Amino acid sequence: MVLNDVSLAVVPGERIALTGPSGSGKSTLLNCISGIDRPDAGSIVFDGADLAGLSGDEIALLRRERIGTIFQFFHLLPTLSVFENIAFPLQLLGMAYPQRQLRVQGLLNDVGLEHRPEAMPDQLSGGEMQRVAIARALAIRPRLILADEPTGNLDSVTGEIILDLIERLTNQHCTAMILVTHSVAAARICSRVLRLRDGVISTP
Q: Domain total for the chain?
A: 1
Mean pLDDT of 159-163: 89
Predicted TM-score of the model (pTM): 0.89
The DSSP H or E segment spanning 123 is none
Distance in angstroms (rounded) separating the CA atoms of residues 9 and 88 = 30
Distance in angstroms (rounded) separating the CA atoms of residues 177 and 67 = 10
Is the predicted pLDDT of residue 2 greater than 80, yes or no?
no
Q: Residue 138's domain spans which residues? A: 15-79+126-202
Q: Is 87 within the bounds of a domain? A: no
Mean pLDDT of 93-117: 94
The DSSP H or E segment spanning 124 is none
Q: Is 1 within the bounds of a domain? A: no
Q: Is 166 within the bounds of a domain? A: yes
Q: Is 73 within the bounds of a domain? A: yes
Distances (CA, A) of 203 to 150, 178, 195: 22, 15, 6
Q: Is 98 within the bounds of a domain? A: no
Mean pLDDT of 94-112: 94
Mean pLDDT of 123-139: 93
Residue 183's pLDDT band, with cuts at 50, 70 and 90, is: confident
Distances (CA, A) of 168 to 127, 143, 155, 162, 194: 16, 16, 20, 10, 22
Residue scoring higher pLDDT (8 or 133): 133
Q: Are 15 and 150 in contact (CB under 8 A)?
A: no
Please count the other Cβ atoms lying within 10 Å of the Cβ belonging to residue 137: 26
Angle 126-138/156-173 helices, nearest 10 degrees? 10
Domain containing residue 69: CATH number:
3.40.50.300
Is the predicted pLDDT of residue 199 greater than 80, yes or no?
no
Is the predicted pLDDT of residue 1 greater than 60, yes or no?
no
The residue among 51, 18, 15 whose CA lies nearest residue 33 is 51
Q: Is 54 within the bounds of a domain? A: yes
Mean pLDDT of 74-93: 95
**pLDDT tens, residue by residue, 108-123:** 999 999 999 999 999 9
Q: Are 190 and 16 in contact (CB under 8 A)?
A: yes
Q: Is 4 within the bounds of a domain? A: no
Distance in angstroms (rounded) separating the CA atoms of residues 54 and 23 = 28
Q: Is 118 within the bounds of a domain? A: no
Residue 137's pLDDT band, with cuts at 50, 70 and 90, is: very high
